[in-house]
Chain A
């Protein structure tokens, strides 16, 4: 399919990895340039370097990774002509349909070719994939793509509506995969295409339960057995490296300290108040005041002028304390660490004298794909009426009999 050489050669298809969300295919054509916001590159400069290299931009700023194409990377990079199948579904279908080296497989429709590339890789040069697409433009685009990727020996692409016209092969394939709006219309045709000398399998890929029900009925009527249905998904997990969580003991120490400080301040104010009242008293030549509550009131009165300072103090404290937890909870911190780190770092040195250790924590990404499609599987058994002795596989192949 694709180059297996260690180094990149002119004419190779490579995958350019810019970021996780920006992966694109490129055919190495010396003389051409590749420009992106991650720098400028000459195709000619990529020839001869090993696959998997990090390549720096000619301007010195920015880099790209040049990778060997795999069906999985192709799925990330391919030009979308339709909704495509992704890894979880592709892998599960391949496994359930028992697709392996030498398997012969039917796929309808071709769509953007995400599944086709994976199957072609898995069946290898001795296997075969018959792919059908009813949309003419998509079919010709896919055909060009398969040719460019050196898959002509493995894939036969046909432009036709299989629901109406059926498949082009009879008693030939091990597995059929139907990704059609109305798969039930193609089930009988699929039965014709499947070989009858061994267990063969079918998978219908439909996003809606109503489609599944109709498909199940069609499969059942056609004599398929072991009908099962699955849903499979990938849950991406986000790992972050964070400081060891603070024990509440440290917080309680901090609070106690703050309390002591406040008390000290109160006492100071009382002392200041007493001083001022005693001064006033001396001026007034009045009786001595011993009641502390009155003293306090007086103190507060006296502190009235310094209220400005007090509020500033109180504003300062919560502001230091509040943003830190708020930032820690911010789910978007990962990509843009600039602000959270600057805010979170100041309080770190104060609570623990030892340098903070870090731990890896993980959680499921906040937004995940919730549904792709239902995968309905069934198999067709090579059952012969028990009246005759079970024929050998070769005999069955020569004269395939319709099922009872």
Chain B
């Protein structure tokens, strides 16, 4: 089966897009400059857009264009240029053996270069001229030549690329521009938050966003105009979410989806102070008053509706990226989250989430609160020159995720033998437990069990400490036999290290000698202990 176009025809799909495919008048457009910097500009019809030292251009040149193209700027006119692909670089024998720092290699003076720039010479010609004048250019390696050309291009090129305001690009732009304002939410952190919160079209979400609206922008983008997003803010007017403006959303994406309350109006027992809007018709004196009253009524109705919606609860998830105490937020809002709903809290600081997790464990409303730190590494991809980028972001903050549950206080945990505390019942079967503490924990435990079989002690005795081969051997007397040693070794080692120890036993070369010595030592210790008691 071949689908040329799927069940949805192109025009209806475009209406459902969260933004126009082409740049519209009034849009905030991100431009990538030759040096890699990203600049945001407002594109208004019939205006001139200034791009720093690169110059300016007529906004109409961009309007109607798709995102992602590269333009060269000349006399306020834009010329689209084909996208650049990577160039293969030939390997050469050249090295920097004969190149010294501080040598005079460029006879072209700054004044001459400025003149060339002013005369409108194309950047590629200018670089060519510089290369011709350069005394040591031919000595450079091919990689170095590439770098040189790229550097010059960054300096002189009057081009830029429009960046599609996808969530990824907008988040990256803000993170590089001012990460504090988006509370260190890096693009990978945001992506994980959206997935963990199970954001989908048609869902209902409760959000506290003090990260300039980045989280709100992400959720709106994913919802695509279907569902409900209720945010709680700390202002008495509707919150400003500046990041949302960068997304150039169509109106349907926000209107009918995004509503807000603040920390006062979100309290159930608080009665908001609202001026009366239901005035008898005979008291309305002017049209102006009438329209003002209508407006007031609309605001009041929206507030009442939104409050009712919050208090009726059953939200799919709660997402928090706030400057306020997260525990206080959770306590207030968790009643409105549906069973099995996700709770996602982001913070730039681990300590805040660590304390939060401890507090969450004191109640039984949260299943498995887990903290993770997103980690991201970008690579430079160039033929023959691929490596992780030299500068990278140190942190994208931390994420706590939990699932809201309905507790059953009558349910009791099942207890497994390995979790039980050994009983101190006195029995006639007495054994010895060797407690070995060392980095080589694994193999030693195998030893323990063997010794257990060899040394059968008949009477109780005081503990003995043996120090040998930089490993401490605690000999404890235990009022039970083998089972306990099994239980103890099972409990003290993780499953992985236990398995490793099993597979390494016997044939392990590390130990043979040391291991035999240890057995002897332990036997001695046991005898010593016996004698001491006798």
Contact = CB atoms under 8 A, between A and B. Distances in A.
A173 to B, nearest CB: 9
Interface string B322-351: 000000000000000011111000000011
B16 A52 contact: no
B21 A198 contact: yes
B239 interface: no
B5 A121 contact: no
A168 B1 CA distance: 6
B98 interface: no
Contacts of A232: 188, 374-377
Contacts of B340: 51-52, 67-68
Contacts of B518: none
A336 B414 CA distance: 15
A332 B377 contact: no
B372 A332 contact: no
A237 interface: yes
A17 to B, nearest CB: 7
A80 B426 CA distance: 49
Contact of B200 (A20, A121, A212, A330): A121
A100 B225 CA distance: 11
A136 B190 CA distance: 36
Interface string B186-197: 011011101110
B494 interface: yes
Contacts of A37: 414, 416
Main secondary structure of the interface of A (DSSP, over half): mixed
A72 B82 contact: no
Contacts of B64: 390, 392
A95 B190 contact: yes
A91 B1 CA distance: 31
Interface string A362-404: 1010010000001010010111111000101110010000001
B357 interface: yes
B408 A55 contact: yes
Nearest to A193: B3
Residue from B166, B191, B199 whose CB has the most chain A CB atoms within 10 Å:
B191
Contacts of A233: 374-375
B491 A339 contact: yes
Interface stretch (A179-187, A221-229, A264-272, A286-294): A221-229
A165 interface: no
Contacts of A172: 3-6
Contact of A361 (B14, B22, B354): B354
Interface stretch (B40-48, B66-74, B126-134, B150-158): B66-74
Given A100-B167, A322-B465, 4 more contacts: A50-B339, A92-B191, A237-B354, A376-B381
Interface of B: 1-8, 10-11, 13-14, 16-18, 21-22, 64-69, 79-86, 164, 166-168, 187-188, 190-192, 194-196, 198-202, 221-226, 314, 338-342, 350-351, 354-355, 357-358, 364, 367-368, 370-379, 381, 383, 386, 398, 403-408, 410-416, 418-422, 437, 462-465, 472, 474, 488, 491-494, 496
6 contacts: A20-B370, A67-B340, A102-B17, A170-B3, A199-B164, A224-B85
Q: Which 8 A-B pairs have the closest CB atoms?
A: A52-B339, A101-B224, A52-B340, A62-B414, A56-B411, A95-B191, A124-B201, A63-B411
